[in-house]
Structure 1
Amino acid sequence: MESSDLETLRNFWGKDRVLLIGIDLGTTFSGVSYGVWKDPSVNGNVSPNPVVCWPGVGNLSTKIETAVSYDDSGDCSWGWLALEQPNVMSWFKLLLPGDGELHFNVNDLKEVQQAKATMQRLGKRLVDVVGDYLRMIFQYTLQYIRQERGDVADVLPFHIIFAVPAIWKEKALDYMRQDIRLSCITNARPNGVAKTTYRFVTEPEAAAMAVVPEFTEPFEIREVVEGSGGLCGAAFLDNSFRNFMKKKSLDEGLIWDELHREDQLHVLTAWEGRIKNDEVRTLFDSLKPEIEKLVRRQVIAVQEKTLRPPKYILLVGGFGQSPYLYNSLKRTYNGHVTVFQGKGSSPSSCVSRGAVICGMKQQVLIHSRISRFSYGFVLDKPFEKGVHHKDDKYFDESRGYYMAQDQMEWLVKRGDDVAIREPQTFYYERRIDHRARGRREFREVIWESRSSKPSNRKADLDNDEDFMVAKSILITTPPVEQLPKIKHEGTLWYLFAYDLKVEVSGASIKLSAKWTKDRSVELIAECVNVVVGA
Structure 2
Amino acid sequence: MPNFYSDKAYNGTETIVVAMDIGTTQTAVSFAHFSPGTRTQGKMVARWPQGNCNAMKIPSIISYQNGRVKACGAEAVRDLEEHPQNVAYWFKLHLHPAAMATSNSQRFEIPSLPMGVTIERVYADFMRYLIDNTRQFFESTIPQGAEIWARLRDTIVVVFATPNGWDIREQATLRTAAIRASLVTEETADQLVHFVTEAEASVHYALANQNGNWLKEKTVFAVIDCGGSTVDTTIYRCASTNPLVLKEACPSKCVQAGGVFVDREVEKVLKTRLHGSPFNDPECIRSMINSFENDVKPIYNGIMEDEVFRFGSVRDNDPSRGINKGKTTVSGEDLKRAFDAVINKIIENCFQPLTSNKVKYVILVGGFAESPYMRNFLRKILEPHGIQIILAGDSLMKAAAEGAIIGRIKQFVIARAVKATFGGCVRECYDKRLHRERRHTVYLYPDGKQRVDGAFHAWVTKGTILQGTFAHKLPYHLAWDAGSTSKNELSSKLTTVEIEIFAWEGDGVPIWCKDETGNVLNGMRPVCILNADLSALSGGLQITTGNRGKRFYRVDYNVCVYFGGTQLHAKLQWKEKGLPREGPVMVIPYIT
SS at match of 1:206: helix
User: AA paired with 1:234?
Assistant: G
| Partner Cα distance (1:49, 1:225) in 2 | 30
Select which of 424, 440, 445 maps to 2:500.
Answer: 445
Identify the residue that residue 28 of structure 2 maps to in structure 1: 31
C-alpha deviation, 1:364, in angstroms: 5.3
CA shift digits 1:314-365 (9 cap, x unpaired):
111122233443344334333601211024247x4220122223446x7251
CA distance in 1, matches of 2:107, 2:432: 52
- 1:224 is matched with which residue? 250
Partner of 1:381: 428
* Gapped regions of structure 1 (runs ≥ 5): 1-9, 248-252
Q: 2-side partners of 1:256 and 1:463: how far apart?
A: 42
Contact 2:557 2:573 in 1 (8 A): yes
Paired residues of 1:371 and 1:412 also in contact (CA < 8 A): no
The separation in 2 between residues aligned to 1:454 and 1:424, in whole angstroms, is 18
2:521 corresponds to which residue?
A: 464
1:245 shift after superposition: 11
Q: Is the 8 A contact 1:166 1:202 kept in 2?
A: yes
- 1:57 maps to 2:51: yes
1:76-95 aligned within 5 A: 76-85=70-79, 86=83, 87-95=86-94
Per the alignment, residue 137 of structure 2 pairs with: 144
**Which of 411, 421, 434 in structure 1 is aligned with 2:459?**
411
1:7 maps to none
Name the CA shift for 1:238/1:456 in 2 (closer, same or farther; >3 Å): closer
- 1:161 counterpart = 2:159: yes
2:124 alignment partner AA: G
Aligned-partner residue type, residue 138 of structure 1: I
Q: CA RMSD in A?
A: 4.1
Match status 1:17 vs 2:44: no
1:354-365 to 2 correspondence within 5 Å?
A: 354-359=403-408, 363=411, 365=413
Count of aligned positions: 491
- The one-letter code sitting in structure 2 at the alignment partner of 1:161 is V
> Judging changes above 3 Å, is the alpha-carbon distance between structure 1 residues 103 and 502 closer, same or farther for their aligned structure 2 residues?
farther
> Alpha carbons of 1:223 and 1:449: their partners in 2 closer, same or farther (altered >3 Å)?
same
Once residues 385 and 241 of structure 1 are traced to their aligned partners in structure 2, the CA distance between those partners, rounded to angstroms, is 58
Q: SS of 1:287's equivalent?
A: helix
Select the residue among 335, 339, 354 that pairs with 2:389: 339
> Post-superposition shift, 1:495?
3.0
Identity of aligned residues (%): 17
CA distance in 1, matches of 2:162, 2:184: 18
Query: Which residue among 541, 559, 571 is the counterpart of 1:512?
Result: 571
Secondary structure of 2:172's match?
Answer: helix
Give the CA deviation at 1:169: 2.8
**2:427–2:453 Cα contact (<8 Å) kept:** yes
CA distance in 1, matches of 2:72, 2:54: 18
For 2:477, the equivalent position in structure 1 comes to 429
State the partner residue of 1:6.
none
Contact 2:101/2:255 (CA < 8 Å) preserved in 1?
Answer: no
Instruction: Tell me which residue corresponds to 1:291.
Output: 343
The secondary structure found in structure 2 opposite 1:363 is: coil
Structure 1 contact 500–513 (Cα < 8 Å) conserved: yes
Name the counterpart of 1:533. 591
Aligned to 2:305: 278
Please list the CA deviations of residues 10-39 of structure 1 after superposition, one character each: whole Å capped at 9, or x if unmatched: 9xxx97221111111100111111112356
One-letter amino acid of the structure 2 residue matched with residue 90 of structure 1:
Y
- Aligned pairs for 1:486-505 within 5 A: 486-488=544-546, 493-504=552-563
Q: Where do 1:123-142 residues align within 5 Å?
A: 123-142=116-135
Post-superposition Cα deviations, 1:165-214, rounded to whole Å, max 9, x if no partner, equal: 1112333223223322222211499xxx9997111111111111222333
Closer, same or farther: CA 463–256 of 1 in aligned 2, 3 Å: closer
Give 3-state SS (helix, strand or coil) of 2:487's partner. coil
**1:59-92 Cα shifts (integer Å, max 9, x gaps):** 5222100011112372431111111123222011
- 1:500 is matched by which residue type in structure 2? V
Q: TM (normalized to structure 2)?
A: 0.71
By relative contact order (CA 8 Å, sep 6+), the higher-ranking structure is 1
From 223, 234, 256, give the equivalent of 2:259.
Answer: 234
Q: Shift of the alpha carbon at 1:101?
A: 6.0
Question: Structure 2 unaligned runs (5+)?
Answer: 1-9, 217-240, 274-278, 308-331
TM superposition shift of 1:95: 0.6
Tell me if structure 2 keeps the 8 A contact 1:163–1:355: yes
Distance 2:12 2:95 in 1: 35
* Distance verdict in 2 for CA 1:142–1:179, change over 3 Å: same
CA deviations 1:194-248 (Å, max 9, x no partner) are 99711111111111122233365324130514402132x233456778999999x
For residue 103 of structure 1, what is the aligned residue in structure 2?
102
Write out aligned runs for 1:304-323 (5 A): 304=356, 306=357, 309-323=358-372
CA distance in 1, matches of 2:189, 2:444: 54
Q: 1:397 to 1:292 in 2, by over 3 A?
A: closer
Normalised to the residue count of structure 1, the TM-score between the two structures is 0.78
Query: Of residues 169, 172, 179 in structure 2, which corresponds to 1:171?
Result: 169
Deviation at 1:57, TM superposition (A): 1.7
Partner Cα distance (2:559, 2:282) in 1: 60
For the structure 1 residues 384 and 356, does the alpha-carbon distance in structure 2 shift closer, same or farther, using more than 3 Å as the test? Answer: same
Q: Structure 1 residues 244 and 77 mapped into 2: Cα distance closer, same or farther (>3 Å)? A: farther
> How far apart are the structure 2 equivalents of 1:103 and 1:343?
30
Is the alpha carbon distance of 1:197 and 1:499 closer, same or farther for their aligned partners in structure 2, counting shifts above 3 Å? same
Secondary structure of 2:140's aligned partner: helix
How far apart, in 2, do the equivalents of 1:187 and 1:89 lie?
25
> Does the 8 Å contact 2:206/2:399 carry over to 1?
yes
Query: Partner amino acid for 1:25?
Result: I
On the 8 A contact 1:418/1:504 being kept in 2, the answer is no
Q: SS of the residue aligned with 1:228?
A: strand
* Structure 1 residue identity aligned to 2:95: L
Does the alignment pair 1:476 with 2:533? Answer: yes
Displacement after TM superposition at 1:468 (Å): 4.8
